[in-house]
Each structure stands twice: as structure tokens, then as C-alpha cells.
A = this chain, B = another copy of it.
Amino acid sequence: MKVLLVFAHPEPRSLNGALRDVAIAALEAQGHEVRVSDLYAERWKSEVDRADFPSLTPDARFIPVAASKKAFDANALTDDVKAEIEKLLWADALILQFPLWWFAMPAILKGWVDRVFAYGFAYGVGEHSDQRWGDRYGEGTLAGKRAMLIVTAGGWEEHYAPRGVNGPIDDLLFPIHHGILYYPGYDVLPPFVVYRVDRFDEAGFEPVAERLRERMRTLATTQPIPYRRQNGGDYLIPSMNLRPALGDPGAAGFALHVDDADADGSLKATRP
């Protein structure tokens, strides 16, 4: 497989840097080809602004969605964005690696998403009818590819448990898993999360590294999170509400969009 790892930590000599090296070595040992987008090292520009759209005339009102569509259609995105799109199309699997800051990705990585996930590429894809509502949530440009997160968190694992005060980690990551990765088509694998990293010591590293190596060895075979496909019949069009009969009666919120009937690995979980 071809793997793109997007790395968003400012210090190479960090736990994140060490885990990145472990991941790359494990992937290459499997015969995978790995490319890295090291956002801090490459001085990635985080802000969506007029400079992203050189063809926009100086007095034109800047409408980000419209400008993105026009620039993508005309192949007029900036070179840094085009290079990332090319890498995403090249890769069979995408890994986003970052420290969880304020329960979300660091600004520099959000800026990578905001700028690279252009209209016509990652959203605004496909037709709308009474049968389909665009190619999104399981369909789209990046369908057939896999994605997963490698995340470090300062807090305790218990605080991210189903009843923990921070909120469950699966719910905190849902806007990324479902809203950023599943939306343009990726099959999203369960995340790799390390907790209490502010108190991490040398002795703790090797067990974590081995757990990460195992995830990299199984990158091609791990069952994705069985999110429901938007156009698979589970949602009403155009309200895009889950049909009344569907969903575990005890489920609410984000959990409704996981199809537990698939959790044994059938159907979506075995798509390429």
C-alpha cells in the first residue's frame, strides 16, 4: 500500500516524533511505501484567505466556498494545496497524527483540512436527486481508501471514558472521523490514542510503540468503523435524518450513525 502520514507536532524530538518514526519503520517493514507531510517542518500556511486564490480580483468579495470551487475547477489552487491533493490521490491510506489540543486537532492541521479539502474535491461532489444527496459520507473522491488517526492526549484515559468528564473519546473524534474523513469517502479505522503523555517516561514507551507497530501491520485489514452510508437507504432525503425505525433504541447523538449490525465485520467493513 501507499501511505500518506500527515504530521502536526512542532517538535521532532517529541513523543509524537518518536511514534511517527515507529509508524514509518513498521509500515516500510511491511513493504508499504510511505510519504510524510510534516506540516511544521514545511511551514504549512494555516489560514484560508484571499492569498489561496490568486485569480480572485482585488476588489472581488471573497466567498470561500465559491472561490474554492472555481479554483479547483480551473486547476488554479496554490501549489502547496495542489501537492497535498496529489498525495491524497496517490495514497491508499491516510494517517493524521497530532496531539489533542483543546479536544481537537492543532490549528496547523485544521488549516491543512480547511485549505486542502477543496470544493469539488472533498465536498460539493456528485449529484443531488431523490435517491442521492451528493457523493459524501462513505462515497466521494476518496472512497476505497482508508484513514486513521494517531493521537496523543495529556489527560487520563478514564476521563475520556463513556461517562468521563471530558466526553467519550469516540464522540470527541467523531467530527474528524465522520465529518472530515468519512465525508469525502474514506473508510475510517479505529484511532490509535495514547493518554497521559505529559507524564510519559522511557519505560512506558516500548509497550506503546509495540501497540502502534501492530496497528501499522494491520492497517490494510483492520475493520473500519461501520458508519452508515448516506445514500445506502438509511436516511430520508432531503432531510437526511436517520429513518425512524433505525438505530439502537438506547443510542442517541453520534452513535446513531454507526451501524451496529455491521459491527461483526460484514458489509461496509469488508469494502476495499
Residues of chain A touching chain B, judged by Cβ–Cβ distance below 8 Å, are: 10-11, 13-14, 40, 46-50, 61-65, 99, 101-108, 110-111, 113-114, 117, 137, 154, 156, 158-159, 161-168, 171-172, 174-175, 178-180, 183, 198, 230, 235, 238-242, 247, 250-257
Contact assessment for B46 and A40 in the assembled complex, using a CB-CB cutoff below 8 Å: no
Q: Which of B14, B63, B103, B235 contacts A179 (CB under 8 A)?
A: B103
Q: Beyond the given A47-B108, A104-B104, A168-B254, please list 4 additional residue pairs across the A-B interface where CB-CB is below 8 A.
A: A10-B47, A40-B49, A162-B252, A167-B178
Bound together, the chains give a CA A164 to CA B49 distance in angstroms of: 30
Q: List 17 A-B contacts (CB under 8 A).
A: A47-B108, A65-B198, A106-B114, A107-B107, A137-B165, A159-B239, A163-B241, A165-B240, A165-B242, A165-B257, A166-B179, A167-B174, A167-B178, A167-B179, A167-B253, A171-B171, A172-B179
Whether A163 touches B256, Cβ cut-off 8 Å, given contacts A49-B10, A103-B179, is yes
On chain B, the residues within 8 Å of A62 by CB distance are: 10-11, 14
Chain B hits for A106, CB < 8 A: 47-48, 110, 114
Contacts of A254 in B (CB 8 A): 167-168, 171, 253
| The one of B159, B164, B165, B175 that contacts A167, using a Cβ cutoff of 8 Å | B175
Q: Is the CB of B252 within 8 A of A102?
A: no
So how many copies of this chain end up in the complex? 2
Closest-by-CB residue of B relative to A11 is: B62
Across the interface, which residues of B come within 8 angstroms of A10, CB to CB? 47-50, 62, 64
Contacts of A108 in B (CB 8 A): 46-47, 107, 111
Would you call A172 and B175 a contact (CB within 8 A)?
yes
From B50, B183, B252, A251 is in contact (CB under 8 Å) with B252
The answer to whether A61 and B11 touch across the interface, beta carbons within 8 angstroms, is yes
B65 A154 Cβ-Cβ under 8 A: yes
Contact at B14–A156, with CB atoms within 8 Å? no
Tell whether A165 pairs with B235 under 8 Å between CB atoms, given A110-B107, A255-B253: yes
Which among A103, A161, A235 has the greatest number of chain B C-beta atoms within 10 A? Answer: A103
Chain B residue with the shortest CB-CB distance to A40 = B49
Per the bound structure, the CA–CA distance linking A255 and B241 in Å amounts to: 19
Residues of B within 8 A of A247 (CB): 163
Chain B residues within 8 Å of A103, by CB: 175, 179-180
